[in-house]
Each structure stands twice: as structure tokens, then as C-alpha cells.
Amino acid sequence: MPVRFFVCRRGPGGGMGFAAQMARILRSDRVRLAVAAALVLAAGLGLGGCSRGTEAERAEKDSSRGGLTPVRLQLDWYPQPEHGGFFQALARGYYEQAGLDVELLSGGPRSMVLQKVALGQVTFGLWRSDDVTVAVSRGLPLVCVGAAFQKDPQALMYHAEHPVRGFADLEGRTVMAGAASVWVRLVEKKYGIQVHLTPVTFSIAQFMQDPLLVQQCLVTSEPFQARQAGAEVGTLLVAETGHNPYHAIIANRDWVAANRAVAEAFVRASLRGWRDYLEGDPSAAFAEIARRNPQHNDASMRFSREMIIRESLATGEPGEGGLGHVDRERLSAQAKILEQFGLLERPVSGAELVAEGFPLAAEE
């Protein structure tokens, strides 16, 4: 019996957090057209020069604020606890101490992070490394300078009375998930499951009504909502399929080459914020996140942070490089998977996906 997959989407401020972004269709016409549009615009403007010029003009215009260098980070979604390290660095003054005037820009379903970074409209962006690899294969000059998450928080949520002990158990089950996500293709190939995709726009309401339904989620988000609504749930991390992209901090390749000191200062201050957020008092970040996204309360944010720590999402497992790390060999292996699925326009190596001189080690 084929597995039936449904698309789950959230509106602005939805509790799904990163999940709505992680469910994008890598090969969809919409993504292809968006990337193509960016490439056309880049060709007309001269991408490398545009990037440096845009940031230089902004720096000159905004230099009146105490000599601080302006930096703009485009988030991948609305402010969430999953962005906590960046908000901690902002609220605790770590960016300012590093000589930076950092603006954290709210994301959303039309945030266009890859294109904005490639065109120099923002200094840095936060996005999945598999999508970055696809974009680089299509000509966008993007590089990783670090990572917010070492492990993908995407998971499958199921009702405890009908557990999913492994991906082979999806056979015959109805699954609400992102259509044509890379992990879906991996499951199909590895377990011989024929997936029937049907797009819908439900939240956890359908999950709460159907005890047999399995739903794609963030391990840091939807399980809390379901338990608050009275359901006993379990989760299975999608990373266990073998596809485990970073949530990378990205920049324009030419800009980093010309502004290495600024890039290094931003990454170091961000890693300082992440370490403080995970090991210290997160209340400064929580207050700023709640101010910008009132949907979040203290309980939901504490749950998200607890899961980030428990699942080693930001730090990775021992021996994997630690906070902020991006490994070129791991990126090369991920690129090979994408190439096998025909998602790349050309082969991409991990060496070209990471800026020279990066990643930086998180300071103790």
C-alpha cells in the first residue's frame, strides 16, 4: 500500500518555525524560477561588484552609529527559539562589543534568503546546506561561514499508541509531510516505498483528530503543541535516514573575500551568543524573540531550547566539530546524494561550499 504524504504549511508567525521552510520542494518550478530570476538579475548587475558595492554603500550611509559596522542577517523564518543564539548575542551586546551594528531580519515564506545574500541585499543569511548546494550548482556565489545547527531538527511525529519505530513502518501509514523533500526520496529508495503526494494546508489539527496520522514536524516545536493539546506523541528524527543538512550561516563569496575581518567578527560574536544561550541564562534572547513574535511564551521557548540541547542540534555529537562547525567532507557527501537524485546542475564539492579560512572554532 503506498504511503500518502501531505504538505503541511503555516501562515505568518506559525509555530512550525523552520519546518515550513524545510519542506520546500528542491526541484519545484517555483524554486527553479526563483533561482533563475536571481541569476538573470545578477548577470545584469554584475553580481560580485554589486555585492561589495551594496554593502559598502550601506556601511558609508550608516557609519554614523558610533563607528559600528552595519551587518544584516536574514533569518529563514519568523523569530523563533531556534534562532536563540543570534538573539542572545544581540540582546547581550556581543555584536556591539565586536564593533558590529547587527540587524536580525525576520523571515517567512517569501524571505528569499539565498537570492538576497547572492545579490548583496543582506550580509548574511540562515539556510539549509542542501539548498545552498543546489543554488551553488546553479551559479549563485554563496559560501558557508558557519552553522547554527549541526543536526537537522526535522522529525516525524506520531501518536504513541501507533508508534513509528523506523522509516520502514511508514508503509501503509498516512503522513503529513513536505512534498518531494530529499528525505522522502531517500526513504522511497532505501525501503522501496512508493510515496503518493497530496498537498494540503492543515496544521496539527488533523493530527489531533486522527490517531493513525504521522506528521512531519520540528522536534523543537510541534511535539510541545500536541502535548499541550493532550496527545501522547513520539518522534523520529529525519536525520536518521542519512540525510542530515546543516542549518548554515551563509554569505556572498566575493563579499567574504573582501571583508574577512567583518565576517570573522560576526561569526565569533554569534558563536559566543549561542554558547551563552545554551549554557547560560537564555532570558535575554527569550524576551527579544517574544517581543518580535508574541506567539511564543516562556514554556514553548524553554521546550525548544531543551530539545536543542537534548538532541545536540547546535553542538552536534562528540567528535563532530562542535558549535558552529561545517565540515567540507560532510558537505561533499551531501552533495553526492543531491547529485544522485539529479538535483544539481553540476557537481559541487565541499571545498567550494565553505569560505576560505572558515569555519572558526567556538571560543570557550
Residue 87 has pLDDT above 50, yes or no: yes
pLDDT for position 198: 54
Q: What are phi and psi of 218, to 5 degrees?
A: -100, 130
In the chain, the domains with their CATH numbers are: 1-364 (3.40.190.10)
Which pLDDT does position 65 carry in this prediction?
63
User: Rounded CA gap, 265 and 102, in Å?
Assistant: 11
CB of 118 closer than 8 Å to CB of 55: no
Eight-state DSSP code of residue 122: S
Q: What is the average pLDDT across 358-364?
A: 75
pLDDT of the residue at 110 = 84
Check: CB of residue 326 under 8 Å from CB of residue 246.
yes
Q: What is the pLDDT of residues 40-74, one digit of tens each?
A: 344 444 444 444 445 545 554 554 467 999 999 99
Cα–Cα distance for residue pair 82/279, rounded to 1 Å:
15
Which pLDDT belongs to residue 216?
A: 86
Residue among 210, 170, 220 nearest 194 (CA)? 170
- Nearest CA to 263 out of 47, 129, 117 is that of 117
What are the CA-CA distances from residue 296 to residues 9, 11, 17, 51, 80 (Å)?
Answer: 18, 15, 11, 35, 8
Query: What does the pLDDT look like over 105-138, one tens digit per residue?
Result: 999 878 899 999 999 999 999 999 999 999 999 9
Specify the pTM.
0.82
Can you state the percent helix, strand and coil of the chain, rounding each to 5?
A: 45, 15, 40
d(CA 126, CA 142): 12
pLDDT in tens, 283-303: 999 999 999 999 999 999 999
User: What local confidence, expressed as pLDDT, does residue 195 receive?
Assistant: 66
What pLDDT score does 253 carry? 98
Cell numbers at 294, concatenated: 508574541
